[in-house]
Structure 1
């Protein structure tokens, strides 16, 4: 069973988890890469989702986010790179989502974390339509044991990578929750300066 990463480690590294998001070749700084720059509007605090019983550990094998046109499998396993930074999907895997294996599996008590690119040097990637997601949208994660964890988006947040809310994303929770992280903001010096984070609760 995987164990959640300690916060000091995450605090040092997660701010740069998605620095791989950048412009396609020939795209001028400040211009979107193959699609409009990803951003989310501040969301009003919705009513808390009903508490759903936690599921046993089981690795994710497929992720569906209908509002963003995402249906991808298999799910990549992401850990820590040799330099101690958090891994992200490679450019070649820009059309896939990865699961941070140092955390819980989706459906267990705690914050499971999924990471995907908005775009890469090759162009738009798996989360290119993240801006279409709204509170109340469903995220479905199929698991290796044949079960399915259904989450409902409670909050959307766009924040500068230097201000990444590590404790909010990786801190302990009393119920099963999910985070989906990608890049956002207009390209500056070849990279997008923000992270977009979806916070979701298990509902079925």
Structure 2
């Protein structure tokens, strides 16, 4: 069954990089208050829908910046996407509270549709209330995530897994490690507030299942 009771804090942070080639984890959420505190799934819960077959792979696309994300099961249709890099302290930049209705793309990785794991980050809620991923609990394996790209092409991903983990045990290699085909990860936070923090991360994993070509010039 799908992971239940997700919530995002106002900020997502990461630990510093070990070296220039390290792939950064993306745990960490902090808020000063919350408009809602849904019941949480245990942090060590196993990924949902075990045994769900992965969709058939599609050929990778060339690099092109993502501009819009649609997740019908979660009622998400948002753009433009924010470009997120690394802050001076080595943490991953994230959408601000004022940008809570937008999703960010980690630009130090691949663009969605290229070979490798493209990473998106979005809030479930902030101290101001519900945010872009507020209905992520409705997403299940087999649902789609569609990313429109700046060159006019579209990459459609099929969700294969949902995982809720304690931020102290963030699965860095699984999220950021090299893959042989185009994949997508969407990261948010979860768990009940503890002293203004959400203790868990929620990660959606998805494989590229179909594409549309770039606009002709």
TM-score, structure 1 as length reference: 0.86
Q: CA separation in 1, counterparts of 2:143 and 2:126?
A: 25
2:72 equivalent to 1:72 = no
Alpha-carbon shift at residue 48 of structure 1 (Å): 2.3
CA separation of 1:46 and 1:123: change in aligned 2, threshold 3 A: same
Shift of the 147–9 alpha-carbon distance from structure 1 to 2, 3 Å rule, reads closer
Unpaired runs of at least 5, structure 1:
none
Residues 109-150 of structure 1 deviation map (CA, whole Å, 9 limit, x = unaligned): 000000001111111110011111000000000000001100
1:107 is matched with: 113
- How many Å apart are 1:7 and its aligned residue? 6.1
Question: Hey, which bits of structure 1, 4+ residues long, moved more than 2 A?
Answer: 5-9, 20-24, 36-43
Cα pair 1:139 1:151 within 8 Å, conserved? yes
Which residues of 2 match residues 23-62 of structure 1 at below 5 A?
A: 23-24=33-34, 32=37, 36-37=38-39, 39=41, 42-62=48-68
Distance in 2, Cα, partners of 1:159 & 1:188: 15
| Residues 45, 155 of structure 1: 8 Å contact kept | no
- What's the counterpart of residue 215 of structure 2? none
What value does the CA root-mean-square deviation take over the aligned residues? 1.9
Distance in 2 of aligned mates of 1:166 and 1:103: 14
Task: Tell me the distance in 2 between the aligned counterparts of 1:98 and 1:64.
Answer: 13
Distance 1:66 1:202, change over 3 A: same
Given candidates 8, 13, 24, the residue that maps to 1:10 is 24
Contact 2:23 2:177 in 1 (8 A): no
For residue 46 of structure 1, report the CA deviation from its aligned partner.
Answer: 1.2
Matched with 1:88 is: 94
Q: Which residue of 2 aligns with 1:149?
A: 155
Is it true that 1:174 corresponds to 2:180 in the alignment? yes
The whole-number CA distance in structure 2 between the counterparts of 1:114 and 1:58 is 15
Q: Which structure shows the bigger proportion of residues in helix conformation?
A: 1
SS, match of residue 22 in structure 2: helix
Q: Aligned equivalents of 1:48 and 1:9: distance in 2? A: 25
Report the CA distance between 1:42 and its aligned residue.
Answer: 2.7
**Within 1, Cα distance between the matches of 2:110 and 2:72?**
23
TM-score computed with the length of structure 2 as normaliser = 0.81
Cα distance in structure 2, aligned partners of 1:95 and 1:114: 13
